[in-house]
């Protein structure tokens, strides 16, 4: 039983990734531990009594050609980009891979060049088309989908019971897929290639444009209240800069205030674009500034340079080891960050980018 419960804190990989499992295990109170272990046990029993446990594979079996990545439980933009980043390894290993996604993240992968087909509705899929299911998690929506539509298909776990722990999801995705492939890549190789990618890639980037993501719901991590000072500093230092604001409905008031102050220097696209249109705009831009969140992950996946603000959660659990996005971190909240420091870093990044493209 101990080995079963330990799976919450032990990623099923043969290599190493940054995570806080040991810290969280030491600091977890008894009530929370008991509750989480009971949930884990119920899910394991569900797999057993439904017969699914007997279809579980530790690694991808020989003879498998077509794989379905079952990921309906991933509903956040950033989580989807990070979790699915390791699909590259499956494709390069010769597998044909389809994916089932939640409608909220579907637009990001609708034109993906690595997935063969991207689905939102499991009822429109045929189980006989697949040799293997890659089950994103043991949460109820994924298990129910597997049992209802792909009951007889063998499967591998992606996250399995590894849950409730802070970890670098990008590295986990690559390292976990590598384990499923039989650990064909070394630690060093994986760390060097673990970089999220979104398609389609932009042929040309506007080297004078910076995207600034404003708004947010999480006051500690995603709401920065000094963008006006940052924008003023950028305009002063780089007069030719084009500043484009993006964000969803919770950023409308912030954007309106910035437009009133900088009417002639800002292109306001907040709450004006679909997710696909927003991703396309980011892909065609050269620079990004914003807080940790889905829009930042889109910028990383499209290889933008820039600065990301991290409050509370450490950047080592959100960014790949190799990225053009620099970070500023405050253990309490992004609101503690001095705008002058952000301007200084952004200016250096943009000047460097300009010199490299001369």
Residues of the chain with CATH 3.40.50.720: 2-193
Percent of the chain with pLDDT over 90: 75
Per-residue burial over 17-40, b if 16 or more Cβ lie within 10 Å, else e, is: bebebeeeeeeeeeeeeeebbebb
Given pLDDT bands bounded at 50, 70 and 90, which one contains residue 357?
A: confident
**pLDDT value of position 105:** 98
Residues of the chain with CATH 3.40.50.2000: 206-356
Given pLDDT bands bounded at 50, 70 and 90, which one contains residue 231?
A: very high
pLDDT (tens digit per residue) in 331-350: 999 999 999 999 999 999 99
**pLDDT value of position 26:** 72
Quick one: DSSP state of residue 335? G
The class that CATH gives domain 206-356 is alpha beta
Report the mean per-residue pLDDT for the chain. 92
pLDDT (tens digit per residue) in 2-37: 565 666 667 788 888 887 777 777 777 888 778 877
CB atoms within 10 A of CB 46: 16
Give Rg (Cα) of the chain: 22
Average pLDDT over residues 245-270: 95
Provide the H-helix boundaries in the chain. 2-6, 21-27, 30-49, 77-83, 87-92, 106-109, 140-149, 169-180, 187-193, 227-237, 252-261, 275-283, 294-301, 339-356
**pLDDT value of position 339:** 97
pLDDT (tens digit per residue) in 273-303: 999 999 999 999 999 999 999 999 999 999 9
**pLDDT value of position 306:** 98
Decide if domain 2-193 falls under CATH 3.40.50.720: yes
Asked whether residue 266 carries a pLDDT value surpassing 70, the answer given is: yes
């Amino acid at each position: 039983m101990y080995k079963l419960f330990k799976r919450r804190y032990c990623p099923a990989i043969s290599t190493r990734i940054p995570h806080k499992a040991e810290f969280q295990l030491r600091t977890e109170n008894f009530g929370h531990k008991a509750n989480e272990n009971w949930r884990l046990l119920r899910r394991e029993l569900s797999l057993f009594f439904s017969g699914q446990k007997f279809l579980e594979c530790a690694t991808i079996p020989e003879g498998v050609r077509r794989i379905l990545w079952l990921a309906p439980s991933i509903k956040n933009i950033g989580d989807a980009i990070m979790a699915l980043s390791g699909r590259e390894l499956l494709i390069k290993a010769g597998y044909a891979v389809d994916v089932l996604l939640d409608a909220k993240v579907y637009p990001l992968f609708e034109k993906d060049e690595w997935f063969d087909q991207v689905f939102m509705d499991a009822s429109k899929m045929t189980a006989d088309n697949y040799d293997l299911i890659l089950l994103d998690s043991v949460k109820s929506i994924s298990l129910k989908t597997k049992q209802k539509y792909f009951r007889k298909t063998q499967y591998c776990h992606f996250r399995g019971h590894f849950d409730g722990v802070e970890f670098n999801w990008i590295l986990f995705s690559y390292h976990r897929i590598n384990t499923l492939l039989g650990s064909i890549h070394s630690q060093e190789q994986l760390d060097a290639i673990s970089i999220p990618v979104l398609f389609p890639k932009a042929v040309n980037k506007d080297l004078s444009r910076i995207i600034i993501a404003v708004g947010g719901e999480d006051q500690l991590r995603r709401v920065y209240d000094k963008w006006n000072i940052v924008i003023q500093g950028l305009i002063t230092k780089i007069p030719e800069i084009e500043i484009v604001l993006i964000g969803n409905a919770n950023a409308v008031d912030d954007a309106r205030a910035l437009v009133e102050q900088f009417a002639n220097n800002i292109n306001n696209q907040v709450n004006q674009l679909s997710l696909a249109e927003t991703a396309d705009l980011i892909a065609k831009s050269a620079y990004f500034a914003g807080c940790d969140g889905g829009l930042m992950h889109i910028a990383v996946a499209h290889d933008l340079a820039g600065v990301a603000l991290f409050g509370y959660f450490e950047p080592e659990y959100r960014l790949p080891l190799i990225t053009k996005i620099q970070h500023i971190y405050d253990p309490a909240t992004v609101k503690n960050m001095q705008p002058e420091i952000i301007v200084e870093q952004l200016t250096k990044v943009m000047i460097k980018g300009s010199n490299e493209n001369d």
